C-alpha cells in the first residue's frame, strides 16, 4: 500500500476527494481514512452490493485502484476508463496498480479470475489510446507466500 500513500502525499490529496475504483469490501478506504482523517474516500466496485453504484454528480481529485483492472474483460476496459473520466476533472490524478500475475482462483467457466493479463507496455497503450496522459509506468515486484513473487505494474496518469 506504500505506493498509494506515496501517490497521495506527492499529489497532496490528504484533504481531497479520492475514489477507490474496485474497492472490494472497503478495507483500503478505511485504512486511508485512518491515516488521513480529512480525506474523503469513496468506493466503487460493481462486484459488491454496498459499493456497486457508480458515483454521479461528483468529480474526484484522485482515483486509484489496486488489483482491479485485471478483472475487467479487455473489450470493456475502454468503457471503464470513460466512466472514470466522467467523474474526473482536468487536474484529477490517477494511480492504478495492476496485477500481472495469474490468479489462484478460477471463474465458474474455468478461466483465470485475472481475465486480462498484459505486460506494462500494453496497459500503457490502452490508457493512452483512451486519451489518458500516462506520466509513469513502473514495475512492483514483491515476495508472496502464495505466488512466490507477485508482479504488478503501477500506472500514474491523468484523464
- List pLDDT tens digits, range 40-79: 999 999 999 999 999 999 999 999 999 999 999 999 999 9
**Residue 144 pLDDT:** 86
145-152 — which CB contacts under 8 Å span 24+ positions?
146/104, 147/101, 147/104, 149/101, 150/99, 150/101, 151/99, 151/100, 151/101, 152/67, 152/97, 152/98, 152/99, 152/100, 152/101
Q: If DSSP codes are grouped into helix, strand and coil, which group holds residue 159?
A: coil
**Residue 146 pLDDT:** 80
**Residue 52 pLDDT:** 95
Percent of the chain at pLDDT > 70 equals: 99
Burial class of 108 by CB neighbour count within 10 A (0 to 12, 13 to 18, 19+):
exposed
What are the cell numbers at 1? 500500500
pLDDT band at 2 (very low <50, low <70, confident <90, very high): confident
Q: Which residues have a Cβ under 8 Å from the Cβ of 158 and sit 6 or more positions away?
A: 90, 91, 92, 93, 94, 132, 133, 135
How far is residue 128's CA from residue 120's CA, in Å, rounded to a whole number?
Answer: 12
**Residue 145 pLDDT:** 87
Pairing mode, strands 133-144 and 148-158 = antiparallel
Determine if the pTM surpasses 0.75: yes
- List pLDDT tens digits, range 76-128: 999 999 999 999 999 999 999 999 999 999 999 999 999 999 999 999 999 99
Amino acid at each position: 500500500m506504500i505506493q498509494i500513500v506515496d501517490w497521495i502525499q506527492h499529489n497532496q490529496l490528504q484533504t481531497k476527494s479520492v475514489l477507490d475504483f474496485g474497492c472490494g469490501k472497503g478495507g483500503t478506504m478505511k485504512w486511508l481514512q485512518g491515516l488521513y482523517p480529512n480525506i474523503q474516500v469513496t468506493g466503487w466496485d460493481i462486484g459488491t452490493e454496498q459499493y456497486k453504484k457508480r458515483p454521479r454528480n461528483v468529480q474526484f481529485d484522485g482515483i486509484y485502484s489496486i488489483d482491479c483492472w485485471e478483472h475487467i474483460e479487455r473489450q470493456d476496459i475502454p468503457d471503464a476508463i470513460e466512466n472514470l473520466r466522467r467523474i474526473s476533472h482536468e487536474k484529477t490524478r490517477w494511480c492504478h496498480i495492476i496485477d500481472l500475475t495469474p490468479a489462484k482462483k478460477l471463474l465458474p467457466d474455468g478461466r483465470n479470475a485475472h481475465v486480462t493479463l498484459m505486460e506494462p507496455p500494453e496497459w500503457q497503450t490502452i490508457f493512452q489510446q483512451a486519451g489518458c496522459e500516462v506520466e509513469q509506468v513502473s514495475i512492483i515486484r514483491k515476495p508472496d507466500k502464495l505466488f512466490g513473487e507477485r508482479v504488478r505494474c503501477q500506472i500514474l496518469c491523468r484523464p
